[in-house]
Structure 1
Amino acid sequence: MRESITLDSTRLQRLQQTPLWDFALALYAKPGVEAACLTLQEEAELDVCEVIFHCWLYTCGLEAEPAALARQREQRRRWQCHVTTVLRGLRRDLKASAASSESVARLRETIKQAELMAERENLQRWQAWVWEASSVDLPVRNITEMPLDSAKWLRKQLLYATTDPPASAALKSQTASLQALQTLTLQLDPHQGAR
């Protein structure tokens, strides 16, 4: 059944009652989600924060407006590139040294915490983008028809106006990436497989 394209204030209210960080922690703790997110990050070169953001919207029956999403995605990717990815690289570079040095292990743990804080900041910026938008220029809309295959819906959201051809190609073709999306969406909609 088709729903109105006009934004349903109940859906937006439900979204505002669930902070994105809290949603991310709960989703990440579900079986298979951590591995799925790492697969999407490593193999499809996707921003896991954006993936979780779309999952958050989906649970409230909302999706991002494509044009607004493209602008926001660019800002969030700059943050990931200049902050989070740098911290992740440092943490990974110190892994071997940390095995034989307690002081390097402590430094690596500090960097790991900074990386987590950078991810949290990115999620908070995604959330603010929706919560602080004017009622005239909202960056989200109702999902007009709830998808029968939520993994395909999520893939479509991640490919809206993507400017990164390698990630787009990886997401379209790699079996591991498609399975990772399926794992995520089954956690959002556990009845998905029964339809």
Structure 2
Amino acid sequence: MRDSNTLDSTRLQRLQQTPLWDFALTLYATPGVEAACLKLQDEAGLDVCEVLFHCWLYSCGLEAEPKALASQREQRCLWQCQVTEVLRGLRQDLKASASESESVKALRETIKQAELMAERENIQRWQAWAWASSSDEQRVVNVVEKSPDAAKWLLNQLLLDQGSHQAEDGTKEKNEWLCSLQTLTCQLDPHQGAR
């Protein structure tokens, strides 16, 4: 259920006081989260930046408005495909030869840093998009009530308006994804400071 009323000012203020990059680094460093994110990326084809973005919103008692989310998701997906994934592929391709050559090892480390910068840029674009929410185009809305299963809530957010294979995958795969998402969502306290 979505709240059609104006955003709760406390929730929006908390969102604006919590930089997404800082939130993402803290959450990602929590035991089990990195492995869960990589599993979601590799096996479910989910964008880790978007996963962290939805976790950030949820921790502030907010969620993305589906219609507004669709175009932003498309832009962020293009960035990931054209920039981040290219760098990741180069880094992975150099892994074997990096063990045999110090210069290739140094090059691989430089590419790894560029990949991290690309991820940070993507995260910052997600943040800017959410912060630019206005009454003309409301991009984020209040989560009206805390979901009894935050992992299912997060999966639904990630699969909103996606016509990809993810929506058609079997129950076994979704249960595995939910297990990974549970690792993330158990770290979140929705509506904290926004009651």
Partner of 1:15: 15
- Aligned 8 A contact 1:90 1:111 in 2: yes
Partner of 2:84: 84
Q: Structure 1 pair 173/64, CA: closer, same or farther in 2 (3 Å)? A: farther
The reply on whether 1:94 has 2:94 as its aligned counterpart is yes
Q: Within 1, Cα distance between the matches of 2:157 and 2:2?
A: 19
Partner of 2:109: 109
TM-score, reference length from structure 2:
0.91
TM-score, reference length from structure 1:
0.91
- Aligned 8 A contact 1:88 1:112 in 2: yes
Q: Deviations over 1:145-184 (max 9, x none)?
A: 2101100100110011013x22334586413322101111
The size of the alignment, in residue pairs, is 188
Query: Shift of residue 4 of structure 1?
Result: 4.9
Q: Within 2, Cα distance between the matches of 1:58 and 1:154?
A: 9
Q: Within 2, Cα distance between the matches of 1:138 and 1:189?
A: 23
Q: Within 1, Cα distance between the matches of 2:44 and 2:155?
A: 11
The reply on whether 1:130 has 2:100 as its aligned counterpart is no
- Aligned 8 A contact 1:70 1:161 in 2: yes
Q: Within 2, Cα distance between the matches of 1:172 and 1:183?
A: 18
Partner of 1:166: 165
Q: Within 2, Cα distance between the matches of 1:57 and 1:171?
A: 28
Q: Within 2, Cα distance between the matches of 1:43 and 1:187?
A: 22
Partner of 2:193: none
Partner of 2:27: 27
User: Unaligned stretches of 5+ in structure 1?
Assistant: 191-195
Q: Structure 1 pair 140/159, CA: closer, same or farther in 2 (3 Å)? A: same
Partner of 2:63: 63
Secondary structure, aligned partner of 2:104: helix
Could you tell me the percent identity over the aligned residues? 68
Equivalent AA in structure 2 for residue 84 of structure 1: T
Query: Shift of residue 144 of structure 1?
Result: 1.5
Partner of 1:193: none
- Aligned 8 A contact 1:43 1:170 in 2: no
Q: Structure 1 pair 3/118, CA: closer, same or farther in 2 (3 Å)? A: closer
Q: Deviations over 1:32-86 (max 9, x none)?
A: 0000000000000000000000000000100000011111100000000000000
Query: Shift of residue 138 of structure 1?
Result: 1.9
Equivalent AA in structure 2 for residue 143 of structure 1: V
Q: Deviations over 1:89-114 (max 9, x none)?
A: 00000000001000000000000000
Alpha-carbon RMSD across the aligned residues, in angstroms, is 1.8
Q: Structure 1 pair 61/172, CA: closer, same or farther in 2 (3 Å)? A: farther
